[in-house]
């Protein structure tokens, strides 16, 4: 019982290994395998028509005197069998029934794998295009997010310069902008997660993204300097200080990861971002103390 079970398991493993081998073949190789099988079985049917009384060859083959015409009919029957068309003008008999059955199964298996690989390839192309379009949209949204945050900081700077103070609405916008920037920075490494998204931004887009990040952090430093020059005690605003400190922590974590995942040599851009972050951190420490 155990021996039979082991034999069955071994046969199953061989079948799966054969199928995996076929799956790994290219389209051209799969078609070549299918074609060679059709030629091979056609040659077998042709040979059967010359053996004994030809009771094991497909019908009517033995009755054809011209060898070339007989071989052509054998190939015709083989292809009809391989494609499961079955017109019925030539039918198997004797041992050729077994050959026809084996050919039908193997030919359909190869053809099914060929079609499956073709459909799978098209699905991969479609999925890759969807990912590309999605991340193109995310990229533009990220840059737009940096721009919106800069506009909020610009409005706060203009209000401080004009009125010498910051009202509740502008403080709320500043807090929201800090939170938004935290999210934007945390999403940047996803642009380089190829195994997951099959998408990586090119060097021009990365330069634009790094520039947006740098300009936004520079604008924060300008805003804090403006507040200080107008004697606005921004460090005492607990909510904005909490979000600003969290933003500094996020930038400290994300920027090295961003630089590590980036396939481009933009060390200066990352250094500028970290420099802006250090200036922010220094201002925070000076005002806390």
Domain spans of the chain, in order of start: 2-93, 123-288
Determine contact, residues 149/181, Cβ cutoff 8 Å. yes
Low-confidence ranges of the chain (pLDDT < 70): 1-16, 18, 52-54, 193-200, 289
pLDDT the model gives residue 64: 84
Task: Give the DSSP per-residue string, 110-141.
Answer: HHHHHHHHHHHHHHHHHHHHHHHHHHHHHHHH
CA distances from 33 to 18, 97, 280 (A): 13, 22, 66
Closest to 237 measured CA to CA, from 223, 251, 249:
223
pLDDT the model gives residue 169: 95
Q: State the Cα–Cα distance between residues 68 and 130, nearest whole angstrom.
A: 54
**CATH architecture of the domain with range 2-93:** Orthogonal Bundle (1.10)
pLDDT the model gives residue 289: 65
pLDDT the model gives residue 199: 58
Looking at residue 58, the DSSP 8-state letter turns out to be P
pLDDT the model gives residue 196: 46
pTM over 0.95: no
pLDDT the model gives residue 198: 54
Residues 195-226, buried b or exposed e (16+ Cβ, 10 A)? eebebbbeeebbebbbebbbebbbbbbebbeb
């Amino acid at each position: 019982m155990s021996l039979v079970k082991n034999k069955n398991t071994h046969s199953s493993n061989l079948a799966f290994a054969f199928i995996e081998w076929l799956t790994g073949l290219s389209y051209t190789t799969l078609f070549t395998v299918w074609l060679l099988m059709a030629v091979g079985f056609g040659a077998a049917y042709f040979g059967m028509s010359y053996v004994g009384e030809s009771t094991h060859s497909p019908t009517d083959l033995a009755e054809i005197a011209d060898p070339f015409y007989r071989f052509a009919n054998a190939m015709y029957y083989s292809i009809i069998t391989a494609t499961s068309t079955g017109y019925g003008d030539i039918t198997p008999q004797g041992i050729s029934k077994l050959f026809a059955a084996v050919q039908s199964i193997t030919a359909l298996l190869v053809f099914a794998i060929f079609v499956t690989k073709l459909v799978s390839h098209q699905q991969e192309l479609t999925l890759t295009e969807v990912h590309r379009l999605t991340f193109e949209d995310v990229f533009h949204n990220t840059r737009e997010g940096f721009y919106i945050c800069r506009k909020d900081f610009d409005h706060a700077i203009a209000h401080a310069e004009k009125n010498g103070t910051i009202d509740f609405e502008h403080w709320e916008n500043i807090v929201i902008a800090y939170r938004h920037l935290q999210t934007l920075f945390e999403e940047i490494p996803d642009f380089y997660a190829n195994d997951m998204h099959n998408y990586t931004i090119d060097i021009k887009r990365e330069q634009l993204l790094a520039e947006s990040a740098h300009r936004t952090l520079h604008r924060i430093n300008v805003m804090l300097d403006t507040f200080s020059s107008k004697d606005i005690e921004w460090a005492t605003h607990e909510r904005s200080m909490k979000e600003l400190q969290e933003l500094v922590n996020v930038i400290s974590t994300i920027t090295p990861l961003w630089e590590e995942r980036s396939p481009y040599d933009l060390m200066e851009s990352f250094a500028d971002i970290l420099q802006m972050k250090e200036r922010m951190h220094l201002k925070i420490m000076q005002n806390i103390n």
